[in-house]
């Protein structure tokens, strides 16, 4: 019988694929063990030289790890410096890459920019990998349900970065207005044709989304509208679900867990974390009808996500 | 239904359908700034209350003047009384 902390082999292979080497999971694990995480984790990611009897069996949320200040300092220095290098390199080479992508793929500009954003996120995942243990479950649900509406809970500023672990890149993100006002993000978001759902009237949002999904693309929304301050699933707004019902699109829920360990709202420094992304099976929105069908869909999705997030603790 | 029962049902319906905290359901709570409703929610509020009370609010011009939860209570009470009187 598999114990709660034993890894899912499929996840280990997926993770090896993300980070390029079969021993990537062990490389991720060792610094975390040195940082004191070994005794609290409820899930393993398959480091073959680890002693399972040393693992705790308590759910992750019940025991917050304490990290040496040196580990925190090294992590923050490492991530900030490498992110800066990554960003400068990306800015420097993106004009050339853009031309190359245009010539080779013949994709529209917006799709190429989304692809670049996704690759940027993938490199970021590698940057944080010595300090963040990432597990992705159910990635096939994300890949096979196109076009669809992805909905994800929101815990941290870095949630968008972690979503680059999904195997799909051509996803249009629908956001509130504030990120569009950040000068270092706004141009890329506009080129990627992300949707500002706070500024546009509802009819225009529907028309825009209809055009996007008509091209076979999916969209992503955070139904909570903002990061959770207490780690719980807060109130869900209805927009994503109204779109799903109106446009007859399936909903694929992505349950994000652990990103608030890395960087919760209100804290300015990062900490090592165990992050889990789980894609649930697509939900058929056509099963929800009537004037308030989207509200029933919203409640149903939230219930499933809540069960997933609680279940992944054990 | 008495006014208190109407208010209670309005609050219960909104708490249930919009995942609100019952503790914030005070008459002076602003619907947008206080309870966090957006423009889509207003459409749904009308439908929820129509289904709960059997009144017609969709074409009611007074809906546009509603700013607080207390305004909503008063509107529903007036509509309910109009319905009972007709």
Residue spans of chain B under pLDDT 70: none
* pLDDT tens-digit readout, A258-297: 999 999 999 999 999 999 999 999 999 999 999 999 999 9
* Angle between helix A202-214 and helix A239-247 axes, rounded to 10 deg: 50
Q: How confident is the model at residue A64 (pLDDT cuts 50, 70, 90)?
A: low
Mean per-residue pLDDT for A42-56?
35
Position A49 pLDDT exceeds 50: no
Please calculate the CA angle A68-A263-A304 and round it to the nearest 5 degrees: 120
Place of tokens 């994709």: A107
**Per-residue pLDDT for A14 more than 60?**
no
* Chain B touched by A237 (CB under 8 Å): yes
> In angstroms, rounded to a whole number, what is the distance separating the alpha carbons of residues A82 and A127?
7
Cβ A237–B40 below 8 Å, yes or no?
yes
- Contact residues on chain B for A292, CB-CB shorter than 8 A: 17, 44, 47-48, 51
Of the ranges A1-10, A60-69, A195-204, A217-226, which is most confident? A217-226
Is the pLDDT score of A62 beyond 90? Answer: no
**What residue in B sits closest to A239 (Cα-Cα)?**
B40
Instruction: Give the gap in angstroms from C-alpha B15 to the nearest C-alpha of chain A.
Output: 11
Q: Do A202 and B19 touch (CB under 8 A)?
A: no
Global pTM value: 0.80
Rounded Cα gap, residues A89 and A86, in angstroms: 5
- In this predicted structure, what is the pLDDT of residue A141? 79
Residue A291 at interface with chain B, using a CB cutoff of 8 Å: yes
8 Å CB contact of A295 and B19 = no
ipTM: 0.87
Orientation of helix B39-53 relative to helix B3-18, angle to 10°: 130
Q: Which candidate, A189, A188, A193, A196, places its Cα nearest to that of A213? A: A193
CA–CA distance, A247 with A242 (Å, rounded to integer):
8
Sheet-wide strand order for A132-137: A132-137, A273-279, A251-257, A149-152, A218-221, A171-175, A195-196
Mean pLDDT of the region A159-167: 94
Contact A244, A285 (CB under 8 A): yes
A230 vs A240, more confident: A240
Instruction: Tell me the average pLDDT of chain A.
Output: 81
Per-residue pLDDT band at A231 (split at 50, 70, 90): confident
* Token pair belonging to A271: 């900490």
Measured between CB atoms, does B42 come within 8 Å of chain A?
A: no
CA distances from A69 to A75, A82, A262 (A): 10, 20, 14
Contact predicate A292/B48, CB 8 Å: yes
A242/B40 Cβ within 8 A: yes
Give per-residue pLDDT as tens, A180-220: 888 888 889 999 999 999 888 899 999 999 999 999 999 99
CATH of the domain at B9: 1.10.1200.10
> Which of A224, A235, A298 is the best residue to mutate to test the B interface, defined by the most B CB atoms within 10 Å of its own CB?
A235
CB pairs under 8 A between A and B: 28
C-alpha closest to that of A60 among A276, A305, A233: A276
Average pLDDT over residues A38-45: 31
* DSSP structural state of residue A58: S
| Structural domains of chain B, count | 1
- Owning domain of residue B80: 3-85
- The pLDDT, as a whole number, for residue A178 is 86
**The pLDDT of residue A65:** 60
Residue A295's CB is within 10 A of a number of other CB atoms, namely 24
């Amino acid at each position: 019988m598999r114990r709660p902390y034993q890894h899912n082999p499929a996840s280990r292979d997926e993770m090896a694929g993300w980070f390029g080497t079969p021993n990537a999971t062990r490389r991720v694990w060792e610094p975390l063990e040195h940082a004191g995480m070994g005794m609290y984790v409820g899930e393993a990611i398959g480091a073959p030289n680890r002693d399972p009897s040393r693992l705790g069996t308590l759910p992750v949320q019940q025991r917050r790890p304490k990290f040496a200040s040196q580990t925190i300092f090294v992590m923050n220095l490492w991530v900030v410096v490498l992110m800066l290098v990554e960003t400068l390199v990306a800015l420097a080479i993106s004009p050339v890459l853009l031309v190359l992508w245009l010539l080779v793929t013949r994709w529209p500009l917006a799709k190429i920019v989304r692809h670049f954003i996704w690759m940027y996120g993938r490199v970021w995942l590698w940057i944080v990998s010595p300090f963040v243990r990432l597990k992705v479950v159910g990635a096939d649900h994300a890949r096979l349900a196109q076009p669809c509406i992805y909905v994800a809970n929101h815990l941290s500023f870095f949630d968008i970065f972690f979503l680059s672990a999904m195997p799909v890149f051509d996803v249009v993100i629908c956001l509130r207005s504030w990120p569009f006002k950040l000068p270092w993000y706004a141009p890329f978001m506009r080129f990627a044709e992300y949707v500002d759902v706070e500024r546009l009237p509802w009819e225009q949002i529907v028309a825009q989304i209809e055009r996007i999904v008509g091209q076979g693309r999916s969209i992503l929304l955070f139904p909570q509208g903002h990061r959770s301050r207490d780690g719980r699933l807060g109130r869900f707004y209805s927009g994503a679900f109204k779109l799903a019902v109106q446009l007859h699109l399936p909903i694929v829920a992505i349950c994000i867990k652990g990103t608030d360990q890395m960087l919760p709202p209100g804290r300015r420094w990062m900490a090592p974390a165990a992050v889990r992304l789980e894609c649930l099976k697509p939900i058929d929105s056509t099963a929800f009808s009537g004037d308030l069908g989207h509200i029933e869909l919203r409640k149903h999705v939230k219930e499933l996500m809540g069960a997933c997030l609680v279940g992944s603790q054990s | 239904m008495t006014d208190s029962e109407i208010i209670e049902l309005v609050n219960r319906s909104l708490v249930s359908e919009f995942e609100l905290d019952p503790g914030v359901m005070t008459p002076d709570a602003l619907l947008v700034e206080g309870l966090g409703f957006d423009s889509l929610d207003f459409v749904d509020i009308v439908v929820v209350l129509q289904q709960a009370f059997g009144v017609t609010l969709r074409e009611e011009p007074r809906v546009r003047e509603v700013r607080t939860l207390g305004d909503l209570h008063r509107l529903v009470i007036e509509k309910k009384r109009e319905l009972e009187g007709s």
